[in-house]
Structure 1
Amino acid sequence: MNRKLWLYTISLLTIFVLAACGSSEEASTWDKVKDGEEELVVGTSGTLVAVSYKDEDSDELTGYDVEVMRAIAEEAGIEVRFEQMGFDGMTAAINSGRIDVAINDIEITEERKENFAFSDPYKYSYTTLVVREDGLSGIETLQDLEGKVNGGAATTVFADIAEHYGATTKTYGNATNDQYLRDVDNGRTDVIINDYYASKLGINAFPQFDLVLHPDIKVHPTEQAIIMSKEDKELQENINKAIDKLKEDGTFAEISKEFFLGEDASTPPEGEIKEIEGIDY
């Protein structure tokens, strides 16, 4: 082979190698975690009573969402690692790649579905109000929220409900439940608009505060799910397979009853729950 032909052959081989490298796709999240070689990084707050919190005796993360995620991981044959963070930063953390998924009582909404993928629901609930026992914080109907102060995170459906009815939301970052409840009790805020189960457990956990669930307001039926990047379709499919199995065999119901005072949050609640008109969820 003469020198010119040899150099031409080498150049072609180099082009083919570079083209092959450029066309190779980065492994998907599911490919990275399916054999347990890498962990699925899961964002959660660690500050929601019964949902995602630290056990006082062991300082280990636990709660319905945490144990549901662990059960899903075991069923799917993957390993998980939890990353604690504030709710408001979870979607940004998915976008940046800091975490792969988030589980933190996150409601499925049309707005969120525009930018992210959701698993099938693992929890069903509705929205209620935590108010002072004496006078129900002056709130008889949702219209009475006008001018009131709601305690919560800024980017939640609950904050949207507060704003829709003329209330403002005082935000706390990644605060613990007792801070939210204490402020309603002492009058710094008037109400906590939140999930029924989280609200009930919060009141039960801190009986020193004179707070109740509003007896007449049950609105906005909700479905909670695991949120992830839209690109992670294979991960979504395998998580959904695990969810279907764990619902069917009663695993989720058993976990729920442990954390929600004997109630099963893995099935839709009974009774009339009113929809709220005029809010684009």
Structure 2
Amino acid sequence: MRMKKTLMLLLFAVFLLAACGTEQDNETDTQGGEDETTQGDDLWSEIEASGEITVATSGTLINASYYDDQDQLTGYDVEVIREIADRLNVEVQFEEMSIDSMLPAIDSGRIDLAANDIEATDNRKQQFNFSEPYKYSYSTMVVRESDYSGIHSLEDLDGKKAGGGATTIYSQIAEHYGAEVVTYGNANNEAYLRDVSTGRTDVIVNDYYLSTFGVAAFPDFDIMIHPDLKFHPTEQAIVMKKDEDRLTEVINEVLEEMRADGTLSELAIQFYEEDASEPTTEDVEEIEGLDL
């Protein structure tokens, strides 16, 4: 009888140890699962799982993001994004919006990236993540060909009307020199350029490449690229939400591949007839006193 009781006690003890061991194993598994979830709880993991990436662009910016003669969205920025998405094996969904809406859309999580010739400035880098630059350029002005819009220096912007987006760096430059900025929303190039030609506005401060191809698209307008003013060298990059470091790393890895195999150069030359993927060799004036 005593041996039977002893055996029963031993079996009960073994059962308790096994049960405790199972609980500890479950806790460990649960903790491990939480760690994995935490590690995977980032935007790149969501994109990878869904197989789709959403990108803000304007569709109105010659030759960065615009509609061609076949009414297809294209441009340097658009095709860079398509190549990145292809190499990452995800589908890309473009959402067209004004430049002033893009950064808030990223901040709210409505879209994953923005690609629209956006300059990576010090202030913006405090609020968002940026990829490595995929385009290098500088700023210039579109003025009337007949009279230079009365502008022969940056200081001559004082009192002029400058067409542009409310939150762009180019508008900040115009305002810095005393111009009144006239905003348009997500208007196309023709609206901006026509207004300079007719005198509704005086000038557009913008990227050299975009301005060059914008002016060329409307030969009947009284406009030209200012022949003497080259200022504020720029670097354009893809914008992401702040602290999405894994996504930034993934994008940068692909951009580096594209740079190394010549794809970035090919796309830049295709749309700009120059290799805008490399830093400019032009003598470009730096602007002092701008908090960008």
TM-score by length of 1: 0.90
Question: In the alignment, is residue 280 of structure 1 matched against residue 280 of structure 2?
Answer: no
Q: 1:246 aligns with which of 255, 258, 266?
A: 258
**Of 16, 37, 40, which residue of structure 1 is paired with 2:53?**
40
Alpha-carbon offset, residue 257 of structure 1 = 1.4
Partner in structure 2 of residue 76 of structure 1: 88
User: Deviation of residue 76 (structure 1)?
Assistant: 2.7
Show the counterpart of 1:51: 64
Matched, 1:104 2:116: yes
Q: What's the CA shift string for 1:9-66, capped at 9, x where partnerless?
A: 9xx99xx7xx96988537211112236x331110001110111012231x22110000
Secondary structure of the equivalent of 2:196?
A: helix
The structure having more radius of gyration, on CA atoms, is 2
1:81-92 to 2 correspondence within 5 Å?
81-92=93-104
- Tell me, in whole angstroms, the C-alpha distance in 2 between the residues paired with 1:55 and 1:201: 13
What is the alpha-carbon distance in structure 2 between the residues aligned to residue 165 and residue 101 of structure 1? Answer: 32
Question: Whole-Å Cα distance in 2 between the matches of residues 263 and 38 of structure 1?
Answer: 34
Local SS of the residue matching 1:269: coil
1:188 aligned partner: 200
Letter in 2 for 1:41: T
- Look up the equivalent residue of 2:90 and give its one-letter code: I
Letter in 2 for 1:34: E
Kept in 1, the 8 Å contact 2:65–2:78? The answer is yes
Amino acid at match of 2:48: K
Q: For residue 62 of structure 1, what is the aligned residue in structure 2?
A: 74
Determine what percentage of the aligned residue pairs are the same residue. Answer: 52
Tell me what 2:175 maps to: 163
* CA distance, structure 2, for counterparts of residue 60 and residue 89 of structure 1: 22
Unaligned runs of 5+ in 1: 2-8
TM-score, with structure 2 as normaliser: 0.86
Q: Which has the higher helix share?
A: 2
Report 1:259-270 matches (<5 A): 259-260=271-272, 262-270=273-281
Matched position secondary structure for 1:48: coil
CA-CA distance at 1:237 after TM superposition: 0.4
Q: Would you say the 8 A contact 2:51–2:89 is kept in 1?
A: no
The letter for the 2-side match of 1:33 is I
Q: Is the 8 A contact 1:33 1:79 kept in 2?
A: no
Report matched runs for 1:229-244 at 5 Å. Answer: 229-244=241-256
* CA distance in structure 1 between the aligned counterparts of 2:104 and 2:172, rounded to whole angstroms: 19
Contact 2:143-2:223 at 8 Å conserved across structures = yes
Residue in structure 2 matched with residue 121 of structure 1 by the alignment: 133
Of 267, 271, 274, the match for 2:282: 271
The Cα shift of 1:222 comes to: 0.2
CA contact (8 A) 2:231 2:284 kept: yes
Distance in 2 between residues matched to 1:155 and 1:271, nearest whole Å: 26
CA distance in 2, matches of 1:212, 1:144: 17
Instruction: Choose which of 11, 19, 31 in structure 1 pairs with 2:45.
Output: 31
Work out the CA distance in 2 between the residues paired with 1:22 and 1:246.
36
What secondary structure does 2:178 align onto? Answer: coil
State the distance in 2 between where 1:205 and 1:253 align: 23
- In 2, the alpha carbon distance for the partners of 1:84 and 1:243 equals 23
**Aligned Cα root-mean-square deviation (Å):** 2.2
**Matches of residues 3-22 of structure 1 in structure 2 within 5 Å?**
none
Query: What is the aligned counterpart of 1:217 among 207, 226, 229?
Result: 229
For 1:70, the aligned partner's letter is: R
Distance in 2 (alpha carbons) for counterparts of 1:38 and 1:104: 22
SS in 1 for 2:253: helix
Alignment of 1:188-207 (within 5 A): 188-207=200-219
What is the aligned length?
A: 268
Deviations 1:194-213 (A, max 9, x none): 00000001001111112111
